Structure 1
Amino acid sequence: MEHSGPISVLGAGAWGTTLAQLLAGKGYPVDLWVFEEDLCGIIRETCENRYYLPGFTLSRNITPHNDLRSVVQDHDFLVMVVPSHVYRQVALQMLPFLKPGAVVVNATKGIENETLLTMSGIWKDILPQKDSIHELTLSGPSFAREVVQKTPTAVTVAGDAIEVAQKVQHIFATDYFRVYTSLDKIGVELAGALKNVIAVAAGACDGLGFGLNSRAALITRGLAEISRLGVKMGAHPLTFAGLAGMGDLVLTCTGDLSRNRTVGMQLGQGRKLKEILAEKRTVAEGVKTTRSAYYLAQRMQVDMPITERVYQVLYEDKDPRTAVQELMGRNLKHELEHGQVS
């Protein structure tokens, strides 16, 4: 199951740089595509990503590139870690150089605004032959800074074929980074994307000064609506009780390193989204994913009241306190309905 040859990592944000460092630490030569030309030069000269992962010396096995072609051509194992809103654009630019049969691991968590497709959905949409690459998803509770510090972490890789998932599992696994396999790609993708929406809500609760009771209720009911949508779209219900579901949701809703929770907290404190985002170099995926999730719930006719209120706070300037009052004042119902979480 070992891999020979260089591994390509596309995207030099905190998570992309961390995965490059993990793979380089296992002895793999890693070609890292860096979008910003100045950052590429900084990493090359200093072995440090001063924009997104400052304070960590990167392995000499990592070679930064600003040219996309050199990172894709002749590579048969690629890791995609670009923001979801540019994922399609980068994937389209990769297509002419992508080797047939290549393994592409999605480590981006999001849902495209225009099409409401997950990252694997984008590949299916743009590939001339849908089976010309092996495309998988890596997700789970994993703050970049803790992984680069080698804090024990567990994640899931989901694909269409168990043999390929096991290959990816072995390539990424270390004594501090444990990888499980799954065949529920859509469930793992939806869980990873939608938990960011709930994390914005959790942050807003904290910003409003609500207590631990409120946060626990929000996480639990957030998981209920993520599961409802996921199952409606063909996911396995138990996926949402696993690492990509409950694991990542708890981490992102409670951890101080969560960008999405931080945005929500500032909203709860009365700040406006525009000024919050203007101060940030890093991407809080939950902001864009909220729009996708809101319209996806409408398309699939799935009730997602928390997601709906987060959308209204972000895009319709609803007061967060009013949103909470509306959630608490809805019609009372049974927690379990027809064997499913209602």
Structure 2
Amino acid sequence: MINPTTLKGGSLPAEISTVAVIGAGSWGTALAALACHAGRSVRLWGRDAGVIEAIAERSENPAYLEGVRLPDRMSATTDLPAALHGADVVLLVVPSVAVREACAAMAPHLAPGVPVAVCAKGIEEGSGLLMTQIAEEELPGHPIGVLSGPTFAAEAIERHPTAATIAFPFSHYDRLDPSQSVAVRLSRALGSQTFRTHISDDVAGVEICGAVKNVIALACGMMAGAGYAENTRAALITLGLAEMRRLVSALGGRDETVMGLAGLGDLSLTCSSTTSRNMSLGHQLGQGLARAECFEGRPVVVEGEHNAINVCALAERLGVQMPVATAVRDILHADADLPATFAALWAQPQWAEPDAMDFAVAHPAALTTAAE
């Protein structure tokens, strides 16, 4: 094999030993714990002093993961420069609406060339940018990638076998020696007996899967809450997967990504349990609760709720049909009636399943309604 050191005229990068995790919510805390389990030095940053104090003093995050024991050697701080100092890689795990602000705050304190893996799932309102594209704008000169997959935080911390995808762009030199790519190095740094990662260069595909699956989970939750059973959920997952594939394809992503951990894996998990905040919100709305009454009135951030607008806006801009996502958006943000909206979704034209057949026929329910 050709030596990429000679081709690049420089030395190979050191192995990742110090990981900074920015964001002390449930998944940020879990990733910090996973990095500790893998033997890395970890610094977890959060803005809530009470949460950080509890992690530092009691090895617990009571606000997000009450009762889940964290590794004793996990370092937690509210000091962003201290968290970033000496970091070999950054895992950015803040809500999607806070990604731009967080990247701007990190920029003055991040050493040149330090890779950043974005773990937020969504699309920016207005610009339509993916989370990694925001990071690229705010953090020029840093390799930017994404970590995503079917992962409930508490289960990962408690060391139930868990897997995710790490995607970064692969340069010519990375392809000559994949072992020195950022994605492989980060995979080695986080891997343990109970956490494995698959490696990808399809950054856009992984990101789109993460954004869309939350919206589809809301749909599954709504239908379950309204009293429908497993047939309906299976159909929604399948329809949602097709919508995910069409949007990924429109952005140049791959079918393999959609059928992998970041796509089908994450979609099936999020749509199958009210442990998912997206599924849980949909379930409560399906039961007839007003949005303000959900989660017992607590202000819980639900990524799919906000991103239903942005996913649909991006799809419309690209000419991609996403009827399930559109139904969710209309119920959440246009006061559409839930039963009537889903009845209309089910009465849409019945299209041929292989896209290559390229035709659809009217649904009998729609014909009956029109005749009446």
Report the TM-score range of the alignment, normalised by the length of the smaller protein: over 0.9
Q: How does 1:118-137 map to 2 (within 5 A)?
A: 118-127=130-139, 129=140, 132-137=141-146
Matches of 1:193 and 1:108, distance apart in 2: 9
Matches of 1:107 and 1:320, distance apart in 2: 31
Counterpart of 2:69, as a letter, is T
What is the CA distance between 1:156 and its match in structure 2?
A: 0.9
* Counterpart for residue 320 of structure 1: 338
Q: How does 1:187-336 map to 2 (within 5 A)?
A: 187-276=205-294, 279-336=297-354
Asked if 1:151 corresponds to 2:160, the answer is: yes
Provide structure 2 residue ranges, at least 5 long, that are not aligned to the other structure.
Answer: 1-12, 171-177, 361-372
* Counterpart for residue 99 of structure 1: 111
What is the CA distance between 1:5 and its match in structure 2?
A: 4.2
> Are 2:99 and 2:135, in contact at CA under 8 Å, matched by a contact in 1?
no
* Counterpart for residue 109 of structure 1: 121
Matches of 2:295 and 2:105, distance apart in 1: 27
What is the CA distance between 1:24 and its match in structure 2?
A: 1.2
TM-score after normalising by structure 1: 0.94
Match 2:82 to one of 53, 70, 75: 70
Matches of 2:255 and 2:331, distance apart in 1: 29
What is the CA distance between 1:274 and its match in structure 2?
A: 3.0
Asked if 1:14 corresponds to 2:26, the answer is: yes
Runs of 4+ residues over 6 Å off in structure 1: 339-342
What is the CA distance between 1:62 and its match in structure 2?
A: 1.2
The DSSP-based 3-state class of the residue aligned with 2:66 is coil
The DSSP-based 3-state class of the residue aligned with 1:266 is helix
* Counterpart for residue 59 of structure 1: 71
Matches of 1:70 and 1:291, distance apart in 2: 36
The DSSP-based 3-state class of the residue aligned with 1:89 is helix
The DSSP-based 3-state class of the residue aligned with 1:338 is helix
Matches of 1:103 and 1:151, distance apart in 2: 28
CA RMSD of aligned residues (A): 1.8
> Are 2:40 and 2:189, in contact at CA under 8 Å, matched by a contact in 1?
no
Matches of 2:70 and 2:106, distance apart in 1: 25
Asked if 1:50 corresponds to 2:38, the answer is: no
Matches of 1:25 and 1:233, distance apart in 2: 36
Matches of 1:4 and 1:168, distance apart in 2: 7
What is the CA distance between 1:25 and its match in structure 2?
A: 1.9
Structure of larger gyration radius: 2
**Identity across matched positions, percent:** 37
What is the CA distance between 1:277 and its match in structure 2?
A: 6.1
* Counterpart for residue 9 of structure 2: none
What is the CA distance between 1:187 and its match in structure 2?
A: 0.2
Distance verdict in 2 for CA 1:35–1:114, change over 3 Å: farther
Counterpart of 1:321, as a letter, is P
Matches of 2:293 and 2:286, distance apart in 1: 14
Provide structure 1 residue ranges, at least 5 long, that are not aligned to the other structure.
Answer: none
